[in-house]
């Protein structure tokens, strides 16, 4: 049976970009790939590359788990778990640190970007983060790893590390394939559509959070930055704002972009934005309702317990195999 692995950091509220670029793919794939075992986790260890408030982190982990399920992840098909509850991630992460070379880590775009923001000092795990991410994937012999564009470089490194380890120590890991959605791989900021929509944007108007008040969401869409032309046409280079809104509209409605262009041929931006605002609010309403119900129910812990146990069964076997390959401990 094939395996699919992916994770999201519990580093704050999830955005529409996270949803369209990642979660929505997991949900579509869970229907499409019936012969595949899914491991989806909350990457809490990855969150501590920056300082975290204990109460906020705990809340974010639980919130993310509930949100995954509210968005439609089916616990009968998916093992949903918390990364730090499966100790083998740390164990293999350390082994991956001994497989990767420092310049390979220093070359990572995300490291180069994030290190500029860490004024109070760069934590060493900001650099070694891709080693842990490689471990997250290789522990489960994942064939498919759905991620947004920004994670492709880390996945490429994971593939190199799997090949290197296999070459040095004998066949141990499956070399995983990245999987990026054709549309939605990069949802852009509403205030600067040349920039990615990011959780950590200082401007609240730039980002739609999945748990935002619905009226607030409508207002954000209505005030999204667009160009001075009046035509509703998809053209990323000349009309990045409208193109981004068309992408969002297409993904939540199932209508193709040319169909939308035709529908709005004789409309102005205000009508188009107002329609999208309503559609998006109606799309997110049931997700928010399920989220609040789940957060207060014991079902959430049952799902996370099952997920952890299933993940551990696979991960433990793998780490024992790796230790044996390396000659660690007393395993023969």
Residues found near ligand TRP in the complex (CB under 6 A) = 5-9, 43, 46, 133, 136-137, 145, 147, 151
Contacts of 203 (CB under 8 A, 6+ apart): 189, 191
CA 82, distance to chain mean position in Å, is 14
Residue with smaller CB distance to ligand TRP, 5 or 322:
5
Sequence-distant (≥ 6) Cβ neighbours of residue 327 within 8 angstroms: none
**Contact status, residue 119 vs residue 135, Cβ threshold 8 Å:** no
CB of 147 to ligand AMP, least distance (A): 4
Name the residue nearer to ligand AMP (CB basis): 9 or 60.
9
The least CB distance from residue 132 to ligand AMP, in Å, is 13
**Alpha carbon of residue 269 to chain centroid:** 31
93's contact among ligand AMP, ligand TRP, none, with CB below 5 to 8 A by partner kind, is: none
Q: Do 211 and 278 form a contact (C-beta atoms < 8 A)?
A: no
Give buried/exposed letters for 46-68 (b at 16+ CB in 10 A, else e).
bbebeeeeeeeeeebbbbbbbbb
Query: Annotated catalytic, 317?
Result: no
As separate numbers, helices (DSSP H) first and strands (DSSP E) second, the chain gives 14, 5
Of these residues, 196, 239, 273, 318, which one is catalytic? 196
For residues 189 and 197, the answer to whether their CB atoms sit within 8 Å is: yes
Rule CB under 6 A: which of 185-204 touch ligand AMP?
185-187, 196-197, 199
**Least distance between ligand TRP and beta carbon 162 (Å):** 13
Min separation Cβ 325 and ligand AMP, Å: 30
Q: Which entry of ligand AMP, ligand TRP, none binds 5, CB below 5 to 8 A by partner kind?
A: ligand TRP
Residue burial 260-297, b: 16+ Cβ < 10 Å; e: rest: beeebeeeebeebbebbbeebbebbeebbebbeebbee
Nearer to ligand TRP among residue 72 and residue 178 (C-beta): 178
Q: Is 196 a catalytic residue?
A: yes
Closest CB to ligand AMP among residues 147, 260: 147
Query: Among candidates 2, 92, 24, 16, which has minimal Cα distance to 312?
Result: 92
Determine the size of the site formed for ligand AMP (CB under 6 A).
Answer: 17
Query: Which segment (12-20, 67-75, 137-145, 160-168) binds ligand AMP by CB under 6 A?
Result: 12-20
Instruction: Restricting to residues 137-166, name those near ligand AMP by CB under 6 A.
Output: 147-148, 150-151
Q: Is 88 or 136 the residue whose CB approaches ligand TRP more closely?
A: 136
Catalytic residue among 77, 115, 199, 205: 199
Distance CA 69, CA 300 (A): 9
Distance of closest approach, residue 145 Cβ to ligand TRP, in angstroms: 5
Which residue in 77, 114, 231, 321 is the catalytic one?
A: 114
Please choose, out of 51-59, 130-138, 179-187, 300-308, the segment that lies near ligand AMP by the rule CB under 6 A: 179-187
CB of 45 vs ligand TRP, minimal distance in Å: 9
Q: How far is the CB of 114 from ligand TRP (least distance, A)?
A: 10
Cα(313)–Cα(88) distance, integer angstroms: 10
Token pair recorded at residue 243: 């193109």
How far is Cα 172 from Cα 163, in angstroms, rounded to an integer? 9
Distance CA 172, CA 271 (A): 56
User: Does the active-site annotation cover 199?
Assistant: yes
User: Residue 294 binds which one of ligand AMP, ligand TRP, none, with CB within 5 to 8 A depending on kind?
Assistant: none
Binding residues vs ligand AMP (CB under 6 A):
8-9, 17-18, 20-22, 147-148, 150-151, 185-187, 196-197, 199
Give the residue numbers annotated as catalytic, written as ranges. Answer: 114, 196, 199
């Amino acid at each position: 049976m094939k395996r699919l692995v992916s994770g999201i950091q519990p580093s704050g509220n999830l955005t529409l970009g996270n949803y369209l670029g990642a979660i929505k793919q997991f949900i579509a794939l869970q229907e499409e790939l019936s012969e595949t075992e899914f491991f989806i986790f909350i990457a809490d260890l990855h969150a501590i590359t920056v300082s975290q408030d204990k109460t906020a982190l705990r809340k974010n982990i639980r919130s993310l788990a509930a949100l995954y399920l509210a968005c439609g992840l089916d616990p009968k098909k998916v093992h949903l778990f918390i990364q730090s509850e499966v100790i083998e991630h740390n164990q293999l992460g350390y082994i991956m640190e001994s497989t990767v070379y420092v310049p390979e880590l220093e070359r990572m775009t995300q490291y180069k970007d994030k290190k500029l923001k860490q004024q109070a000092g760069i934590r060493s795990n900001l650099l070694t983060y891709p080693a842990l991410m490689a471990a997250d994937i290789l522990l489960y012999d994942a064939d498919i790893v759905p991620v947004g564009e920004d994670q492709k470089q880390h996945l490429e490194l994971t593939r190199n590390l799997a090949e290197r380890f296999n070459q040095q120590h004998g066949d141990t890991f499956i070399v995983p394939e990245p999987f990026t959605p054709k549309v939605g791989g990069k949802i852009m900021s509403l205030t600067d559509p040349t920039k990615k929509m990011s959780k950590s944007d200082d401007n609240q108007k730039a980002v739609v959070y999945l748990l935002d008040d619905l009226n607030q969401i409508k207002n954000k869409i209505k005030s999204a930055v667009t160009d001075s032309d009046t035509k509703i046409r998809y053209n990323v280079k000349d009309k990045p704002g409208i193109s981004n809104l068309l992408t969002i509209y297409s993904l939540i409605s199932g209508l193709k972009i040319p169909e939308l262009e035709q529908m709005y041929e004789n409309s102005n931006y205000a009508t188009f934005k107002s329609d999208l605002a309503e559609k998006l609010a109606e799309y997110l309403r049931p997700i928010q309702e399920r989220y609040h119900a789940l957060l207060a129910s014991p079902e959430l812990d049952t799902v996370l317990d099952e997920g952890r146990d299933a993940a551990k069964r696979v991960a433990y076997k793998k780490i024992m195999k790796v230790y044996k390959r390396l000659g660690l401990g007393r395993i023969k």
